Amino acid sequence: MPIDVVAREGLPDSRRWDVEQAVETAGRRLPGVHEAWVVPARAGGGFCVRITGPDGFFCQTELVGDETEAEIKDKVMRALEP
């Protein structure tokens, strides 16, 4: 599993599994091990997915909080594109 979701701060229990699965699925093709944090966004009631990896890799995307698993996966995949 290339992306390991290590933190889910403020994410409701009812959403944890969907968000975690979407993030892990989006990163299946990444080389090396990456870590993701799902934290509250600075503005509004959404969340921010931050992903770090080897060689200083960093990307992030924001979620409004009501996305489907497919929408979350799509947003994370787009954030991971070079």
Q: Which domain holds residue 15?
A: 3-80
pLDDT value of residue 63: 92
User: Which of 12-16, 29-33, 49-53, 64-68 has maximum average pLDDT?
Assistant: 49-53
pLDDT of 47 strictly over 70: yes
Report the CATH number that the domain containing residue 65 is assigned in CATH. 3.30.160.100
Please give the backbone phi and psi of residue 38, each rounded to the nearest 5 degrees, phi first.
Answer: -110, 115
Give how many domains the chain has, as a whole number: 1
Q: Tell me the torsion sign for CA atoms 57, 63, 65, 68.
A: negative
pTM: 0.89
| Residue whose tokens read 């509250």 | 40
CA–CA separation, 82 and 69 (whole Å):
22
